[in-house]
Amino acid sequence: MKIVHTVKEVRETINNWKKEGKTIGLVPTMGYLHEGHQSLIKASVAGNDKTVVSVFVNPTQFGPNEDYASYPRDLKKDAALCEATGADLIFNPEPEEMYPDRFCSYVNITGLSDALCGKSRPIHFKGVCTVVSKLFNIVTPDRAYFGEKDAQQLAIIRRMVKDLNFPLEIVGCPIIREEDGLAKSSRNTYLNTEERKAALILSKSIFAGKEMVENGETDANAVVARMKEIINSEPLAVIDYVEMVNMDTMKNIDTIEGSVLCAIAVKIGKTRLIDNFISIENTPASTSGE
Ligand code: PAF
């Protein structure tokens, strides 16, 4: 497995692979990889001849008071995980490689980006869509893999790929949880022992909400109210949002029908964590822009 830092090096490798007729999977990440990322890499290795993992903490998706500087980084450990999982190439650019002097072109998806995380992180999805578009253009993958934990991000990327005719397939992969239920996240490392215990309130409320829906509850507000009640029972938890939205529009719903996303963001101490469940009616496993 190779680690490269420039666009030129990625393109050279990809060109050689394409000449040999190889298919390419891309797993975009910000590094500090865990079993959630590993499941994406595994899916890519299983579905493609070659797998590229990008490891780049993308400055444009962090707000001024967010954790860009302190976001955990460990390329050595990431490389070991990628190699052990069968990846072929890590692309680990410096910020200047992705955003050279006078950079001023951004990709902004309106509407879908205004809801949920977009409300409390107004520039976040513009940064995500910009860097993901750049990665698609640099790597030109056949498939790209994203986790369902960032369900709004996945919905936005699916939309972007359709709207902008990116010739690739987006594959969503299920949330991977710790044994006690907490959704895996690089940010879990910020939690001290007391906060780590308190963070279980997220998955507890998600499982309770999911059970209500599975038992036939169709009143979205009743599910949200119960989930908020559970989260508020934890003194260290501060709710950013608990919402049920239509999967395609990200607009709030009153009645649970069709494909619905129930998403939460909760602060435990200084750490903002997200989790969700999806109630599906014909949600595609993959989307193509072709
Ligand atoms: O989900 C992430 O880790 C990031 O938002 C992504 C998709 C790698 C873009 O920086």
The arithmetic mean of pLDDT across residues 150-157, rounded, is: 98
Structural domain that includes position 83: 2-176
Lay out the sheet containing 237-246: strands in order across: 237-246, 260-268, 271-279
Give residue-wise pLDDT tens across range 139-152: 999 999 999 999 99
Residue where a domain stops, chosen among 135, 153, 176 = 176
Distance CA 241, CA 231 (A): 11
- CA 50 – ligand 1 centroid, Å: 20
Is residue 286 in a domain? no
Is residue 207 in a domain? yes
Cα angle 213, 124, 45 (rounded to 5 degrees) comes to 70
Is residue 181 in a domain? no
Read off the CATH number of the domain in which 56 is found.
Answer: 3.40.50.620
Is residue 43 in a domain? yes
The arithmetic mean of pLDDT across residues 54-80, rounded, is: 97
Report yes or no: 202 and 266 within 8 Å, Cβ to Cβ.
yes
Q: Are 201 and 97 in the same domain?
A: no
Q: Are 17 and 142 in the same domain?
A: yes
Inter-residue long-range contacts of 69-76, CB under 8 Å, 24+ positions, other chains counted? 71/30, 71/32, 71/186, 72/31, 72/32, 72/186, 72/189, 73/31, 73/32, 74/31, 74/32, 75/3, 75/31
Give residue-wise pLDDT tens across range 242-288: 999 999 999 999 999 999 999 999 999 999 999 999 998 644 455 66
Residue where a domain stops, chosen among 176, 209, 240 = 176
Phi, psi at residue 143, to the nearest 5°? -140, 145
Q: Are 65 and 202 in the same domain?
A: no
- CA 193 – ligand 1 centroid, Å: 27
Q: Which residues line ligand 1 (CB under 6 A)?
A: 28-30, 58, 61, 128, 131-132, 150, 153
Please tell me the pTM assigned to this model. Answer: 0.95
Distance CA 260, CA 275 (A): 14
Look at ligand 1, atom 9, and give the residue with the nearest C-alpha: 128
State the closest ligand 1 atom to the C-alpha of 135, by its place in the atom list counted from 1: 9
Domain count, the chain: 2
The arithmetic mean of pLDDT across residues 148-158, rounded, is: 98
Read off the CATH number of the domain in which 217 is found.
Answer: 3.30.1300.10
Question: 246 forms bridges with which residues in the sheet?
Answer: 260
Instruction: Tell me which residues are annotated as active site.
Output: 37
Q: Are 113 and 47 in the same domain?
A: yes
Helix (H, G, I), strand (E, B), or coil: what is residue 24? Answer: strand
